[in-house]
Amino acid sequence: MTRAISLHDVSKTYTSKGPRVVDRLSLDIAPGEFLVLLGPSGCGKSTLLRMIAGLEEITEGELLLDGEYANDLPPAGRDMAMVFQSFALYPNMTCRDNIGFPLRIATPAADPRPHVDATARMLGIEDLLDRFPRQLSGGERQRVAMGRAIARRPSAFLMDEPLSNLDAKLRTHLRAEISRLTRDLGVTTVYVTHDQSEAMSLGDRVAVLRGGVLQQVGTPRTVYALPRNVFVAAFIGTPRINLLRGLVRAPLGGAMTIRLGTQSLLLPEPLSRDHQLLRVQQGREVVVGLRSEAVRIAAPSAARPGEVPLTGVVEHLEFQGHEVLVHVDTGSSPAHVPELEAARPDRRPVRRRRRESRVQERLRERAGALRGAPVAVLDRPAEPAPPPPAAAQPRLPGDLVVRATPDLALRPGVQVPLLVDLAHLFVFDHHGERVCPAPERAPDLTE
């Protein structure tokens, strides 16, 4: 039977005065679901997995397995199998004995052979059964480790970065195998990774963690299309989302615009509900997020409804084979959001942080002035400084990466027309929270 796993306000501290490495986290995992825990190194993914497995004590909060309180249930009583990054096979046992080991522990009197053979067939490793782990490649070892987890038909799989010791090609291959196997078996799976593409391709849902705090949980499509904050937006998706410093202008009786450095995005009238949400940001600095597919190189005359024009100068081309990533200078400034993007939020007192950030700000500005490239600081006062006289105007660096087909004749220095699809424009406030679009923008996605 496959398990429902629920975490209610679960926290973990390793020492009495230590920080919460998992911080009041609540999550419901449905029976048969494939849930991926995703986040940067040290965000608490493994700790959470180990608490579910019973290998780590829960400091606060509740773990429920099929609705039953399970904080104190010993690991063996949870009927879960773990697969680790390090394979963790017994070196002095053959693959057959490795796979059969949990079966022999569970029911010593029963012959494990039929189960082991069936499992090996499922994984395509029948030929490896009489070999020792040292006689196997990394991919084969991980298959055997999977076999050991599968053989006794647990009610949940807990996988801790099982593919990260393998090369890229094998990882992709085994990813597909894991997906097929877990779906065929219909077993609840919790899978830890810091690799966003792995998370997106495997998970029914993805739970994004930062500094022990759950940022967002949703289907891969939802977390990509409606990231709740800058951290999720920047962590998910390749190439990385373009984050630009913007300023909302909503003059009474005038058209609303988002200023991006030297150019503006004109929001079409009548304003959509999403864009109406931006009124409260009037005069404030915001972070504009544009994924590379939200902008295309095309003339204004080719604009579809909802697309608005910009122009830019090609700075750099990254040839990818099937496409080219075009780095364009649009005269905008990249939003400087290290605090919002950092693996761990800065928990130091605000006053101390402000003092430091003012010093850092001055240093950054000085460095920017030297390079002729001012860098945006998010927590700065809203109104930007008046532009310097044209002659003295420093060159603003562009920060827009756009996808293009390889047949487009482009080279650095060429000016290109751009169209921005407003339906794919994200606006984040100064706390990094998404203001726009609202969920109604994508009715087939739920938050």
Ligand X SMILES: Nc1ncnc2c1ncn2[C@@H]1O[C@H](COP(=O)(O)OP(=O)(O)OP(=O)(O)O)[C@@H](O)[C@H]1O
**Interface contacts to ligand X, rule CB under 6 A:** 14, 21, 39, 41-47, 194
Nearer to ligand X, 14 or 69 (CB): 14
By beta-carbon proximity to ligand X, the closer residue of 24 and 430 is 24
Size of the chain in residues: 447
Q: Which is nearer to ligand X, 43 or 243 (CB)?
A: 43
Residue closer to ligand X by CB (options 117, 195) is: 195
What is the rounded distance in angstroms from the CA atom of residue 124 to the CA atom of residue 293? Answer: 39
Non-local CB neighbours of 236 within 8 Å, separated by 6+ positions: 38, 196, 199, 200, 206, 208, 223, 224, 227
Nearer to ligand X, 14 or 90 (CB): 14
Residue 44 CB, shortest distance to ligand X, in Å, is 4
Residue 94, burial from CB neighbour count under 10 angstroms (0-12, 13-18, 19+):
middle
Q: How far is the CB of 19 from ligand X (least distance, A)?
A: 8
Distance of closest approach, residue 14 Cβ to ligand X, in angstroms:
3
Closest CB 41 distance from ligand X, rounded Å: 3
Q: Are 376 and 247 in contact (CB under 8 A)?
A: no
Give the residue among 396, 422, 380 at the shortest CA–CA distance from 285: 380
Least separation, in Å, of the C-beta of 18 and ligand X?
Answer: 7
- Residues 440 and 253: their CA atoms lie apart, in Å, by 26
CB of 194 to ligand X, least distance (A): 5
Taking alpha carbons only, the member of 307, 244, 310, 255 closest to residue 279 is 255
- Is the peptide bond prior to 374 cis by the omega test (within 30 degrees of 0)? no
Q: For residue 220, is the peptide bond before it cis, meaning its omega torsion is within 30 degrees of 0? A: no
Nearer to ligand X, 44 or 334 (CB): 44
The answer to whether the beta carbons of residues 263 and 310 sit under 8 Å apart is yes
Instruction: Give 21 or 422: the residue with its C-beta nearer to ligand X.
Output: 21
User: Is 223 or 376 the residue whose CB approaches ligand X more closely?
Assistant: 223
Nearest distance, CB of residue 21 and ligand X, angstroms: 4
Residue 216 beta carbon to ligand X: minimum distance, rounded to whole angstroms: 16
* Alpha carbon distances (Å) from 139 to 102, 112, 191, 198, 209: 21, 24, 18, 16, 28
Complex with ligand X: residue 21 or 436, whichever CB lies closer = 21
Q: Rounded to the nearest whole angstrom, what is the least distance from the CB of residue 59 to ligand X in the complex? A: 12
Tell me whether residue 48 or residue 81 sits nearer to ligand X (CB atom).
48
Least distance in angstroms from the C-beta of 176 to ligand X: 23
